[in-house]
């Protein structure tokens, strides 16, 4: 196939060259599609080698010299299956592709129960939103650091496409792979549908998109998904054809292969292989028909989707060519069987190789174990006569709602520097999570909110009185948890930061009830207390425990970062409340206006006295019998005033100014502490991915 035969010749190939037909015949290919080889094949090999070494390091394997899975005499699989990867993205694309193959090899000889925790550990490492692992070990945190550094490289190149790719790794691969042994199927199409879901095949198209610099919107992906699946079918069958020699020696419970599917129906092995070859060609023909139909139905595709369509046939041909030549499927032994070669356990909790040895941190862990054993219930208020169902109902409800868990993610990121043991770390997470959920319940009551995280607010279900009682109890529970640590300094931190939080909240409530707009300086001072208190608290709690250890000498090292995080996070939240569609679904359209809250955009807008009078006059109409919530037309009028005052753009600008300062402060701390923190940097990148200012209509 040459450039003239591609569906959209106006978007030609620029990063690859065709593999000759002679080379493909000599390799034994029988595919109908010509392969192409990316011009950056050496970069792909570099990425593959780096991925193998990092994986061995992440799983604490003893040998680091395994041959990468993707390298072959004909070229790296990434270079052949994803031929249009841009040069500056090739190493990273090959890295993420190699990761999938080497992980498959590491887990393939284990039973499903043994491999499940390994999938979970890798999912924790590559998903920026994950805050907990099953084992909670230091080893898992080190693993997350390794892969966060790679994710950060991807996000620095292309934030949105990189996020899409990493999300697909978690959602379409690690959460579904090896879900169960191969079941019985009645048709090949049933088998292929199972394979597409179970093997994480669709991740490949997000890798193609990232590598080629293609941004797939949700609408783009939904439109292209049938064509992606048509591409996947012959590719999966090709994989089965060439991998059967390797897989046929494995326990049948671990094998998912079309040859086995045919054999289960009574077909001899040789005949099953012949049948599979015929079906590969049939599915290639089906792909061509679907692609041609798709192109006729969408003749005016944007250029990025035209390129995506053009890449699909070479993807099939390139993968076929690679399968013919790669050592992975063309030798009797698998050189990358990590688990068996190293006799490495796939399970384990807080492993000894990563256990901290400082005496004081061991004492912390011992005190926690003792307190959990002796106290029974930290609060001390449960009785044998009354159950806790009524008390814990609102708590369990708020905990059940979807959450970004930003504060818990920050705790994990900071622990990369501070190195607290698992038990102490989890206790701090429980403390921070309880305080945060308690404040959410109380905030929703004070604000009169109907929604929280897209669901009905707690007090709407349980009533104000019961919700307040449970929220207050959570402070008691937290005090018990802190007391159990037997460190008076921790209680001091808790009380000081709670006082800061309530002080900040008091001013926000006062401004709202009196309709007095604060100055920008007053607003930021309030944020430093209300929002910043939680960031200061979690850091100070961690630092207090770490300083027992003698690791850090100055608690003030993190003060600036905590303040910047509080300001950045709150102003970002104010902005999203007025600008982001997803926020409106979870909290209601511009809910801050219903609450009469003086958010940062309102404060900026009210710097103009004329606009201030109008805004306050409109906000003052809320919470009356006639107007329980601000009418839509009033909200739109306020938004128009904010837009014309330039306040939305000023808010957006401040968010990125603060984000830059956060990144600078992270860099300063990395230099002081002598350790990079890619986990924290990735988290900031993810949270900083917000929409540009747009006028609400």
Q: What is the pLDDT of residue 348?
A: 35
Q: What is the pLDDT of residue 359?
A: 43
Q: What is the pLDDT of residue 368?
A: 44
What are 337-370's pLDDT values in tens digits? 323 323 333 333 333 333 333 444 445 445 444 5
Q: What is the pLDDT of residue 137?
A: 66
Question: Is residue 76's pLDDT more than 60?
Answer: yes
Is 317 in contact with 77 (CB distance < 8 Å)?
no
Both structure tokens of 596: 């009469």
When mean pLDDT is compared across 33-42, 301-310, 669-678, the lowest value belongs to 669-678
Q: Is the dihedral of CA 25, 28, 31, 34 positive or negative?
A: negative
Is 564 in contact with 554 (CB distance < 8 Å)?
no
Residue whose structure tokens are 């003698």: 550
Angle between helices 488-514 and 422-447 (to 10 degrees): 20
Is 531 in contact with 599 (CB distance < 8 Å)?
no
Q: Using 50, 70 and 90 to split pLDDT, how confident is the model at 243?
A: very high
Is 188 in contact with 258 (CB distance < 8 Å)?
yes
| C-beta neighbour count of 515 within 10 angstroms | 13
Is 55 in contact with 103 (CB distance < 8 Å)?
yes
DSSP 253: G
Both structure tokens of 652: 């957006």
What H or E segment, with its residue span, contains residue 636? helix 632-644
Give the Cα separation of 227 and 229 in Å (integer).
5
Q: What is the pLDDT of residue 124?
A: 81
End-to-end CA distance of the chain: 49
Question: Is residue 637's pLDDT more than 70?
Answer: yes
- Name the percent of the chain lying above pLDDT 90: 60
3-class SS shares of the chain: helix, strand, coil, % to 5: 70, 0, 30
Question: Is residue 126's pLDDT more than 90?
Answer: no
φ and ψ at 357, to 5 degrees? Answer: -105, -5
- Name the percent of the chain lying above pLDDT 70: 82
Q: Using 50, 70 and 90 to split pLDDT, how confident is the model at 294?
A: very high
Angle (CA) 375-497-489 rounded to 5° is 55
Going from the C-alpha of 400 to that of each of 397, 457, 569, the distances in angstroms are 5, 12, 23
Task: Please state, rounded to an integer, the average pLDDT across all residues of the chain.
Answer: 85
When mean pLDDT is compared across 160-169, 498-507, 670-679, the lowest value belongs to 160-169
Going from the C-alpha of 262 to that of each of 29, 182, 187, 242, 253, the distances in angstroms are 22, 13, 10, 15, 16
Residue whose structure tokens are 């059940």: 400
Q: What is the pLDDT of residue 413?
A: 93
Domains of the chain: 16-342 (1.10.600.10), 357-687 (1.10.600.10)
Its pTM stands at 0.79
Q: Which of 612, 607, 613, 521 is nearest to 567 (CA)?
A: 521
| C-beta neighbour count of 180 within 10 angstroms | 10
What are 332-345's pLDDT values in tens digits? 443 333 233 233 33
Q: What is the pLDDT of residue 100?
A: 84
What are 417-452's pLDDT values in tens digits? 998 888 888 899 999 999 999 999 999 998 888 888
Burial of 355 (0-12, 13-18, 19+ CB in 10 A): middle
List CB contacts of 65: < 8 A, sequence separation 6 or more.
none
Q: What is the pLDDT of residue 335?
A: 37
Q: What is the pLDDT of residue 555?
A: 52
């Amino acid at each position: 196939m040459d450039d003239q035969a591609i569906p959209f010749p106006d978007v030609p190939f620029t990063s690859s060259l065709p593999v000759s037909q002679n080379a493909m015949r000599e390799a034994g290919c029988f595919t109908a599609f010509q392969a192409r080889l990316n011009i950056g094949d050496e970069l792909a090999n570099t990425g593959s080698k780096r991925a193998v070494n990092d994986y061995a390091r992440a799983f604490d394997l003893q040998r680091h010299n395994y041959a990468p899975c993707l390298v072959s005499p004909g070229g790296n699989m990434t270079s052949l299956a994803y031929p249009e990867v841009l040069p500056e993205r090739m190493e990273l694309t090959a890295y993420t592709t190699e990761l999938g193959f080497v992980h498959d090899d590491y887990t393939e000889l284990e039973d499903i129960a043994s491999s499940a925790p390994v999938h979970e550990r890798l999912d924790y490492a590559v998903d920026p939103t994950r805050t907990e692992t099953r084992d909670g070990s230091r080893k898992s945190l080190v693993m997350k650091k390794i892969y966060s550094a790679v994710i950060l490289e991807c996000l620095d190149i292309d934030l949105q496409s990189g996020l899409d790719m990493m999300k697909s790794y978690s959602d379409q691969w690690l959460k579904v792979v090896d879900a169960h042994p191969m079941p019985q199927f009645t048709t090949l199409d049933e088998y292929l549908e199972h394979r597409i879901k179970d093997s994480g095949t669709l991740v490949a198209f997000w890798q193609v998109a990232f590598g080629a610099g293609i941004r797939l919107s949700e609408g783009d992906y939904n439109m292209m998904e049938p064509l992606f699946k048509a591409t996947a079918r012959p590719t999966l069958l090709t994989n089965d054809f060439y991998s059967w020699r390797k897989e046929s020696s494995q326990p049948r419970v671990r094998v998912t292969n079309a040859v086995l599917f045919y054999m289960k129906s009574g077909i001899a092995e040789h005949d099953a292989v012949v049948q599979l070859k015929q079906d590969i060609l049939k599915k290639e023909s089906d792909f061509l028909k679907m692609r041609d139909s798709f192109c006729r139905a969408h003749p005016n595709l944007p250029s990025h989707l035209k390129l995506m369509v053009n890449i699909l046939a070479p993807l099939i041909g390139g993968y076929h060519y690679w399968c013919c030549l790669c050592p992975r499927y063309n030798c009797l032994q698998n050189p990358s069987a990590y688990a068996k070669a190293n006799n490495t356990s796939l399970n384990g909790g807080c492993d000894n190789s990563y256990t901290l040895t400082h005496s004081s941190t061991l004492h912390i862990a011992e005190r926690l174990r003792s307190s959990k054993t002796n106290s029974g219930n930290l609060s001390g208020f449960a009785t044998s006569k009354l159950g806790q169902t009524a008390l814990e109902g609102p708590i369990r409800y708020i905990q059940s709602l979807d959450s970004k868990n930003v504060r818990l993610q920050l705790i994990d990121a900071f622990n990369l520097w501070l190195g607290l043991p698992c038990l102490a770390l989890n206790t701090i997470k429980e403390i921070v999570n309880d305080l945060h959920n308690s404040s959410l319940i109380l905030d929703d009551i004070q604000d009169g909110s109907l929604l929280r995280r897209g669901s009905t607010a707690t007090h709407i279900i349980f009533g104000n009185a019961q919700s307040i009682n449970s929220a207050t109890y959570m402070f008691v529970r937290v005090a018990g948890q802190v007391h159990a640590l037997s460190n008076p300094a921790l209680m001091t931190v808790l009380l000081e930061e709670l006082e800061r939080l309530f002080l900040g909240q008091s001013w926000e409530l006062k401004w709202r009830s009196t309709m007095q707009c604060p100055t920008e300086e007053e607003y930021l001072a309030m944020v430093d207390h209300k929002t910043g208190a939680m960031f200061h608290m979690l850091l100070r709690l961690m630092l207090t425990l770490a300083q027992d250890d003698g690791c850090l000498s100055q608690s003030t090292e993190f003060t600036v970062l905590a303040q910047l995080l509080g300001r950045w996070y709150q102003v970002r939240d104010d902005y999203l409340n007025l600008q982001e569609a997803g926020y409106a679904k979870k909290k209601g359209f511009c809910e801050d206006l219903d609450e009469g809250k003086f958010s940062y955009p309102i404060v900026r807008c009210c710097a103009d006295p004329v606009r201030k009078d109008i805004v306050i006059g409109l906000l003052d109409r809320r919470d009356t019998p006639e107007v329980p919530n601000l009418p839509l037309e009033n909200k739109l009028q306020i938004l128009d005033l904010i837009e014309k005052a330039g306040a939305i753009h000023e808010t957006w600008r401040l968010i990125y100014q603060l984000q830059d300062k956060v990144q600078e402060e992270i860099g300063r701390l990395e230099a002081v502490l002598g350790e990079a923190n890619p986990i924290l940097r990735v988290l900031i990148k993810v949270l900083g991915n917000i929409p540009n200012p747009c006028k609400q209509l």
